[in-house]
Amino acid sequence: MSAYLLSRLFSAVWVVLGVLTLVFFVLHAAPGDPVELMLGEQASGADREALRESLGLNLSVWEQYLTFLSGVVVGDWGQSIHHAQSVMELISARIVETAYLAAMSMVFALLFALPLGLWAAKNVGRWQDQLAMGISLVGISVPNFVLGPVMIWLFAVVLLWLPTGGNETPQSVILPAIALGSALAAISARMIRSSVLQTMQSAYIKTARAKGLSEDKVLWRHALRNAFLPVLTVLGLQLGMLLGGAVITEVVFQWPGIGTLMVEAIQTRDYPVVQGCMLVISLAYVGVNLLTDLAYAQLDPRVRLG
């Protein structure tokens, strides 16, 4: 187990390093100068150079890159160009909101996918199965940046049931959580259906039926645990993607999370903030994948991780 963990951690370091390197050079290759955005076109050349030097933008790209990496290693993510505040402090204030939104999206996905997938598996080949798979197909096909405005128009503007955005009330999380978790719910429902149907053909399920157990007991007591293993893998992978996918959802619903912060930083060419946001997202994605592997091994004793 320890050898496996060390191997995965070593791989994770290279993945995070690759993401940060790509983001760093893409940002610096993009058109736009943060100094001009801050001072405007009327600023003198001396003022521009002074600000550029104070921000470290007078160094070459490679020198800035090495400075950024050395800061990451020691826990110094730099200062925001536009907020005059530590990047870590800015992200710490926003990451809680994003984590809360991702968690609520996962809860919605499970509450929706589990009964829908089991209902479809229990009624395979019937109209219930076709209806459930049709609903899941819609959930996969409609992107969250389309679903979000539609839900805002229907539930916030027309019906006046929920707020249009922000996080001022507890009800504010409902619409963004549904928009963000809809694709995950649809994928999970199809995975649950497929996995349950495959598990129901196993020998131990036939034995349980031969003992006289009802179909509900066979399904819930014997089939569901093993059928949930591949679903767990999908959920683990998608949880990391929820943090990245939250960027669009947060902008649509004006949710004050790390996604909104990153979009604002991209617009103002705030390089340290964008790099810090990507660092957090990549670390979360890699960490969730590792925890998923460990949880998979605990649920299935046949899995040996090293």
CB 115 within 8 A of CB 72: no
The per-residue pLDDT for 258 is: 85
Low-confidence ranges of the chain (pLDDT < 70): 1-5, 32-45, 47-48, 51-57, 208-209, 211-217, 219-226, 229, 236-237, 240-241, 243-245, 293-306
- Distance between CA atoms of 63 and 58, rounded to whole angstroms? 10
The per-residue pLDDT for 45 is: 65
The per-residue pLDDT for 251 is: 86
The per-residue pLDDT for 221 is: 66
Amino acid at position 284, single letter: A
Instruction: Enumerate the H helices of the chain as residue ranges.
Output: 2-29, 34-39, 45-55, 61-74, 87-122, 127-141, 144-151, 174-199, 203-210, 215-217, 224-252, 258-267, 271-299
The per-residue pLDDT for 54 is: 65
Q: Kindly list the domain boundaries of the chain, sorted by start residue.
A: 87-299
- Distance between CA atoms of 142 and 98, rounded to whole angstroms? 22
The per-residue pLDDT for 32 is: 67
CB 117 within 8 A of CB 197: no
Whole-model pTM over 0.85: no
The number of C-alpha atoms within 13 Å of 290 and in the hemisphere containing its C-beta is 19
Query: At the top level of CATH, which class does the domain 87-299 belong to?
Result: mainly alpha
- Distance between CA atoms of 123 and 33, rounded to whole angstroms? 60
pLDDT in tens, 56-113: 667 778 888 888 888 887 777 777 877 778 888 888 888 888 888 888 888 888 888 8
pLDDT in tens, 227-241: 776 777 777 667 766
- Distance between CA atoms of 93 and 80, rounded to whole angstroms? 14
Nearest partner of 188 among 244, 110, 122, judged by Cα: 110
The per-residue pLDDT for 303 is: 55
